[in-house]
Amino acid sequence: MSDPKPAATYADAGVSLDAGEEAVRRILPMLRRTHTPGVIADIGGFGGLFELPSGYERPVLVSSTDGVGTKLEVARLADRWDTVGLDLVAMVVDDLVCCGAKPLFFLDYLAVGRLDPDRVELLMSGLVAGCETAGCALVGGEMAEHPGTMDPDALDVAGFAVGVVERDRLITGDAVAPGDSLVGLLSPGLRSNGFSLARSVLIDPDDPAGSLAAPAYADAPAGPSVADELLCPSVIYSPAVMAMLDEAQVNSIAHITGGGLVGNVPRAMPEGTEARLDATTWERPRIVAEIARRGNVAEDELRRVFNLGIGMVVATPDPDVVIAAVRSVGVEGAIIGEVAPADGPPQVRFSSDQ
């Protein structure tokens, strides 16, 4: 008779319950820093509890979910995890505020091949910082270890948030009219879109570490590295949007993510209008020009893939008030164009094409 097999354990299968408990122990104090008065229960229950703020007559709840895309691969290759959590918050809450909603609470989902408490702690530090900036509570989430289906150093993260807005203050874009100014909120980096193209141009698959450590620009050998430029943390615009809504008439807000300016600005405009943009009114991040140069990327492709240095576009009859309001919370804005009458569905035209 053969000897019995030794008892199998979860750890033998690749899941470390001890690492999971250690990661939770480390991040709990950080998560509690984000708790606002609406939070009812502490982290650890089966659901996050949040009390709807008082003072709303017809509150509308707005929800959004997103990820960080292949910017995570840059973080993995560079082994730099302290900013991608902030990027995640930006992608999610800055969708909410396009409706005029104030972010209330946030949840995250983290999947890894092997749970490393050090890496989780770094990632969560950025996520917590993002929630603190956005003024929303991190009320829960999930960490899942997937041995055998994900490489040990693989990681993916997604987020979900809920905000609230008064029904009669919803921003739908229907009020946009010819003559409105278009104010762009400036973005110093790529945020979290276009990274598949950026990686293919800037990172040598045979030497990814060397590519990321190299200077981003040949004429600035002591300047930022490729990793520095690609992992530039996203601006979180929700405080700036809340500030402008208190001061100015805002007819629409477009979050410039996948699809760039040409794909996102029309989503916030009605039929019979077009956005006329003057690209000379703002400065593109230098990394965009570097990607275009190294990859011989056409201008039309750049416009469809990257935000070109504009994180949000606001249609308003009060551009100077909007710019002053966002500057009061540390975000720079500029008048980048205007709304004009047009036939058919909304679209974007650049003055350089006319």
Nearest residue to 99 (alpha-carbon basis) of 238, 285, 274: 238
Whether residue 6 is contained in a domain is answered as no
Picking from 137, 169, 201, the residue at the C-terminal end of a domain is 169
Please check the confidence at residue 144 and state whether its pLDDT lies above 80: yes
Task: Answer yes or no: do 277 and 146 share one domain.
Answer: no
pLDDT band for 196, please (50, 70, 90 cuts).
very high
Task: Answer yes or no: do 144 and 253 share one domain.
Answer: no
Whether residue 312 is contained in a domain is answered as yes
Task: Answer yes or no: do 160 and 27 share one domain.
Answer: yes
Task: Answer yes or no: do 186 and 331 share one domain.
Answer: yes
pLDDT band for 95, please (50, 70, 90 cuts).
very high
Rg for the chain, CA atoms, rounded = 22
Whether residue 51 is contained in a domain is answered as yes
Over residues 231-238, mean pLDDT? 97
* CATH number of 76's domain: 3.30.1330.10
Picking from 116, 143, 169, the residue at the C-terminal end of a domain is 169
Whether residue 272 is contained in a domain is answered as yes
Say what percent of the chain tops pLDDT 90: 82
Neighbouring C-beta atoms of residue 242, cutoff 10 Å: 18
pLDDT at position 3 is 67
Please check the confidence at residue 250 and state whether its pLDDT lies above 90: yes
Please check the confidence at residue 321 and state whether its pLDDT lies above 80: yes
Whether residue 256 is contained in a domain is answered as yes
Task: Answer yes or no: do 164 and 186 share one domain.
Answer: no
Task: Answer yes or no: do 46 and 106 share one domain.
Answer: yes
Task: Answer yes or no: do 26 and 48 share one domain.
Answer: yes
Buried-state track 310-340, b at ≥16 Cβ within 10 A, e below 16: bbbbbbbbbbebbbebbeeeebebbbbbbbe
pLDDT band for 129, please (50, 70, 90 cuts).
very high
Please check the confidence at residue 14 and state whether its pLDDT lies above 90: no
Residue 101 belongs to domain spanning: 17-169
Whether residue 176 is contained in a domain is answered as no
pLDDT at position 10 is 65
pTM of the model: 0.92
pLDDT at position 32 is 85
Mean pLDDT of the chain: 93
pLDDT band for 1, please (50, 70, 90 cuts).
low
Over residues 136-163, mean pLDDT? 93
* CATH number of 248's domain: 3.90.650.10
pLDDT at position 12 is 67
Whether residue 12 is contained in a domain is answered as no
In terms of residues, how long is the chain? 354
Please check the confidence at residue 311 and state whether its pLDDT lies above 80: yes
Task: Answer yes or no: do 93 and 161 share one domain.
Answer: yes
- Of 141-155, 199-213, 264-278, give the lowest mean pLDDT range: 141-155
Please check the confidence at residue 16 and state whether its pLDDT lies above 80: no
pLDDT band for 264, please (50, 70, 90 cuts).
very high
Task: Answer yes or no: do 41 and 148 share one domain.
Answer: yes
Task: Answer yes or no: do 159 and 289 share one domain.
Answer: no
Task: Answer yes or no: do 233 and 145 share one domain.
Answer: no
Task: Answer yes or no: do 231 and 154 share one domain.
Answer: no
pLDDT at position 105 is 96
How many domains in the chain? 2
Whether residue 2 is contained in a domain is answered as no
